[in-house]
Amino acid sequence: MPESESTPISPEEVQLRERLLASPEAVLAEEFTKHNARFRRLVAFRLEPMAASRVDPDDVLQEAWLAAAQRIPNFFTMEGMTFFVWLRLIVLQTIIDVHRRHLGAKMRDAFREVPIDNDRSRDTSHALARQLLGGLTSPSAALMKAETARKLELAIEGMEPIDREILALRHFEELTNTEVSQVLGIQVKAASIRYIRALKRLKETLGTLSSFLDQSRDA
């Protein structure tokens, strides 16, 4: 990945690693509680609706916590990665496993070296469309949603895969530029530029989406 760079580990992260070595389960519980709201956003965004109807988010996070507890030694082999970003990967891998079990979905592992592949990019397109149209609930709005959903997905799919992923990570998962750079293996500056460009491209492509959503919510 030519844009990648190593981000220096902060003193706080160094201290966290030292504490993690001394009391792994206690620190894991502390960090999981600290980032619980962020992990719930991740589950809400990435979990397919059919899987979400069968699995409680708390069960997904509990499974992720158990997986993290077993794999803590692996974290120390992930050079330049913060503990939060590593835990996010664990939660993402758990979501992938849930999809495999309940939907029979063939999905690539979250810990693959290449951060963006075609399957995951398409999943992001669907998730973005769901989130952008998620506020439409009335009968008339539901009809408008059905008519607009595919157009919206096509517009999102017209973006570069990495820009779609940055839009999802920044706008819906609310990751920082630095966290996005670690997740995707690109420079912090590049993550910021791509995010701004992706937002602009989405607004230009969809044009009247904001007014459409406002009108539909009032329907």
Same domain as 149, residue 107: no
Same domain as 154, residue 85: no
Quick one: pLDDT band at residue 200, thresholds 50, 70, 90? confident
What pTM does this model have?
0.77
What is the arithmetic mean of pLDDT over 100-111? Answer: 70
Cα radius of gyration rounded to whole Å, the chain: 18
Same domain as 24, residue 75: yes
Domain boundary among 84, 113, 142: 113
CATH number, domain containing residue 161: 1.10.10.10
Domain boundary among 79, 113, 147: 113
Assess whether pLDDT exceeds 60 at residue 25.
Answer: yes
pLDDT digits (tens, 9 = 90+) for 47-73: 988 888 899 999 999 999 999 999 999
Quick one: pLDDT band at residue 146, thresholds 50, 70, 90? low
Which residues are within 8 A (CB) of 54 and not within 5 positions of it... i.e. 6 or more apart? 102
pLDDT at 209: 54
Domain boundary among 65, 90, 113: 113
Same domain as 122, residue 62: no
Same domain as 118, residue 106: no
> Residue 41 belongs to what H/E stretch?
helix 36-46
Structural domain containing residue 124: 114-219
Report the 10 Å Cβ neighbour count for 151: 13
CATH number, domain containing residue 85: 1.10.1740
Same domain as 137, residue 69: no
Assess whether pLDDT exceeds 90 at residue 180.
Answer: yes
pLDDT at 71: 96
Query: Looking at residue 110, what DSSP letter applies?
Result: T
Count: domains in the chain: 2
